[in-house]
Chains A and B, each alone.
With several copies, the nearest count.
Chain A
Amino acid sequence: MSGFFDRLRSQRPKTTAQPGANASREIPDNLWVKCSRCHTAVFRKVFEEQFKVCDKCGYHHKLTAWERVSLLSDPDAFLEWDAGITPADPLQFGPDYQRKLEEDRQKTRLGDAVLSGRTLLANHPVALGVMDFAFRGGSMGSVVGEKITMLMERALSERLPTIVVTSSGGARMQEGIYSLMQMAKTSAARVRLQEAGLPYLVVLTDPTTAGVAASFAALGDVILAEPDAIIGFSGARVIEQTIRQKLPEGFQTSEFYLKHGFIDSVVPRKDLKSSLARLLGFLTRSGSVASVTE
């Protein structure tokens, strides 16, 4: 899988934002990247070969949605769905919000915080949704809710397994109650997959909290998490203010939730694709799911 960012570049040479752009900003020299946790400088090539996982401290830097797709998809297999669905400003929250949306559109080359489509993962046809934290903190408004729901409804009609990679601070405040209702909409769609006997796998990445954690992210048949991702409902700051004490070390991390019984397995990024492929192998042999050769 090494060189997957190269592949990504060649796949979308003109329109994609530079992969690793976020992490690289810190060091002007483009050959080096500085780990945002341990601050070690890493040779960019090595950094990308490790899928943005720090060689030194193991920190999993955030991936963009397209990088995530490249990590998980077989080459040239991804077909995007619903790219035309983009945010309105239903509450008329004002020009400030609109400007931020435009900034994030420029930055991420995404219409909103989720990218969805059909692809092959190690030859398994799947419906894949990936969130991008760089777009408004991965917050779920109407577009994220709609695209996740569409993803599942398409998976349903095409009898595909669904995989969603989450990264979100929660609901998008600027869409008010519409955001809240996306929790209902997406969860309801997820139940339909269950009723149809179709697998739904979730990968929690840093961070997955609040409204997204408390809806489709929590409802996977199997739930994987990347190491050291922050997961939970309430934000650490809110909890500290409420209980007026410091939070324990490691609170709300993947490992914390593994210990507390909410995550099936914490999987390092390098093993993520193979882990998902293995799970698909276990869950898609019944004939109820579209076959590999389809």
Chain B
Amino acid sequence: MTQRVLEVESPLLELEEKINELKIVNQTGKIDLSREIEALERKASQLKKSIYENLTPWEKVRLARHPERPTTLEYVNAMFTDFFELHGDRHYADDAAIVGGFARLDGQPVMVIGHQKGKETRENLFRNFGMPNPEGFRKAGRLMKLAASFHVPIVTFIDTPGAYPGIEAEERGQYEAIAQNIALMSSLPVPIIVTVIGEGGSGGALAIGMGDRVLMLEHSVYSVISPEGCASILWRDATRAEEAARALRITAQDLHRRGIIDAIVSEPPGGVHRAPHVVFGKLANIIAESIEELAALPSALLVERRYQKYRAMGEFVCAVENEERVPVAAGVG
């Protein structure tokens, strides 16, 4: 599905390789290449910066799906202590495509929940490539209810191509499971902090993605449909995914500008996987601060604010407000 090296980063990687070769030559002591190496390193650094600051939406999609990008459990293990994984939806199964459990952030209890992708084939099969079945969403819902009963804030990580499109998933009510979670999240009386760490794939993302604060990593994406899916439906041509990626406005920057997400968490040049701990540390701070701030609110106000936040999303033309009319008299435009 994805490659270890993206097209966009190959000039950089080539340059870095060259620099390394020069360094080896340099170490022999026969020629002094220090100045040249220094110059090349400056150049590499500029290149890096310019590449990653100017990624196209499609390049961001590729980066968001990068196989070396940290997955939920890496965030959990790095940012939290005392993670106690909990399993099962208490109805049908435990779905490995969603993980969850209690943990501590700065010593304070939280419930962490996230989509879980694998790093290699076997793990990816086990995790179903991060695509939950209904029981995954229901597990998440159960854990969120559990957290709310005990006043424990909820922290979720979004990283999924989407809900799994399978026969059994449909049989067991994929649509219902997603809807129930969204309804649930709209009214839970505890802070909910959401971070999109990779792919935010449609309803399968939103099913654990409604929150008081929604953060996105700099190179993550969040979309109503995959660019490939959009292209194949709109233009009957999946190869126009790049175009769709642009049209759908799926980057963190786009979504922040439009007020859909609350903040962007910057990534090191090259993406979070090049220096994950920098991001882990920064993100942990942001989340901890957000929780502290939100936990201070009366829970009714917290829920009301969350309601109003989503209530305001949408762009439309509104000719007359609060109108009520008899169709015969008024006609219909």
Contacts and interface: CB of A to CB of B under 8 A. Distances in A.
Interface of A: 11-12, 14-16, 66, 76, 78-88, 90-91, 93-94, 105, 109-111, 117-118, 141-143, 145-146, 149, 171, 173, 175-185, 187-192, 194-195, 197, 199, 209-211, 213-219, 221-222, 231-235, 238-239, 242-243, 247-248, 251-252, 256-265, 275, 278-279, 281-283, 285-286, 288
A235 B167 CA distance: 11
A110 B230 CA distance: 25
B327 A78 contact: yes
A83 B93 contact: no
Given A83-B319, A86-B316, A173-B225, 16 more contacts: A12-B327, A85-B316, A93-B247, A118-B324, A145-B314, A176-B224, A180-B203, A182-B313, A184-B186, A192-B307, A232-B175, A242-B164, A247-B167, A261-B93, A262-B176, A278-B102
B316 A258 contact: no
Given A88-B316, A260-B171, A187 B183 contact: yes
B221 to A, nearest CB: 10
B189 to A, nearest CB: 12
Nearest to A199: B150
B125 to A, nearest CB: 14
B320 A239 contact: no
B242 interface: no
Contact of A234 (B139, B169, B179, B223): B169
A211 B224 contact: yes
Interface string B312-333: 0111111111011111101111
B166 A80 contact: no
B186 A111 contact: no
B332 A15 contact: yes
A178 B313 contact: yes
A262 B89 CA distance: 7
A79 to B, nearest CB: 5
B170 A232 contact: yes
A177 B84 contact: no
A89 B311 CA distance: 19
B210 interface: yes
Nearest to B326: A79
Contacts of A183: 179, 182, 203, 206
Central interface residue in A15, A86, A264, by most chain B CB within 10 Å: A264
B169 A233 contact: yes
A195 to B, nearest CB: 7
Contacts of B102: 278-279, 282
A142 B87 contact: no
A206 to B, nearest CB: 15
Top 9 A-B residue pairs of the complex, sorted by shortest distance between their CB atoms:
A84-B319, A261-B88, A142-B314, A234-B165, A188-B186, A90-B315, A218-B179, A213-B175, A233-B174
A185 B163 contact: no
B5 interface: no
Given A85-B316, A261-B90, A187 B182 contact: yes
B257 to A, nearest CB: 11
B234 A173 contact: yes
Contacts of B82: 278, 281
Contacts of A265: 84-87
Given A182-B314, A234-B163, A239-B165, A261 B182 contact: no
Nearest to A81: B324
A274 B19 CA distance: 52
Nearest to B210: A184
Given A181-B314, A185-B311, A239 B247 contact: no
A79 B327 CA distance: 7
B249 interface: yes
Contacts of A109: 332-333
Contacts of B175: 209-210, 213-214, 217-218, 231-233
B229 interface: yes
A210 B185 CA distance: 19
Contacts of B171: 256, 260
B162 to A, nearest CB: 8
B25 interface: no
Central interface residue in B146, B170, B250, by most chain A CB within 10 Å: B170
A239 B170 contact: yes
Contact of B94 (A188, A190, A260): A260
Central interface residue in B164, B222, B314, by most chain A CB within 10 Å: B314
B152 interface: yes
A285 B192 CA distance: 18
Nearest to A234: B165
Given A84-B318, A84-B320, A177 B250 contact: yes
B318 A110 contact: no
A190 B330 CA distance: 29
B266 interface: no
A146 B250 CA distance: 22
11 contacts: A79-B325, A83-B332, A88-B315, A171-B225, A178-B260, A184-B186, A185-B314, A213-B175, A251-B167, A281-B82, A282-B104
Contacts of A145: 313-314
B178 interface: yes
